[in-house]
Amino acid sequence: MAFLFRFLSLLFLMAAVAAGTIDSILSVSMRSLVLTSFAADWQEVSPSTLPLVRAWVEHYIHPEAWRSGVAIIIAQPAFVVLLALALLFWMIGYRRPKPEGLLA
């Protein structure tokens, strides 16, 4: 199970690097800071799933959970959200190294 979380962490880290690279290339070409939101990237990749997730959250959790929680998170820059998810999955899948040495 830890392997799955570490693998998901790797995938999210690679996606964060890709999103950050795209934002930096756009920033250089436009000569101003460009930070693409996670919602905009989500809308570009899979436009049909964002309304489905919103309906699911509003129906099964609470309508206010979308407005005060999820909507605020997905409005942040994509690389920040993806880095946070990578860190979260890495922390879930982290295993402490076994102690080695004389007193282990």
In this prediction, residue 58 has a pLDDT band, given cuts at 50, 70 and 90, of very high
| 6: in domain | yes
Same domain for 3 and 32, yes or no, is yes
Residue 77's beta-bridge partner residues? 37
Q: Which domain holds residue 12?
A: 1-36+83-93
Into how many domains does the chain fold? 2
What distances in angstroms separate CA 31 from CA 16, 26, 27, one per listed residue? 22, 8, 6
CB atoms < 10 A from the CB of 81, how many?
22
Predicted TM-score (pTM) of this structure = 0.86
Same domain for 22 and 49, yes or no, is no
In this prediction, residue 100 has a pLDDT band, given cuts at 50, 70 and 90, of confident
Same domain for 11 and 41, yes or no, is no
| 42: in domain | yes
Instruction: Give residue-wise pLDDT tens across range 77-87.
Output: 999 999 999 99
Nearest in space to 3 (alpha carbons), one of 85, 94, 86: 94
- Number of helices and strands (H, E) in the chain? 6, 0
| 25: in domain | yes
| 99: in domain | no
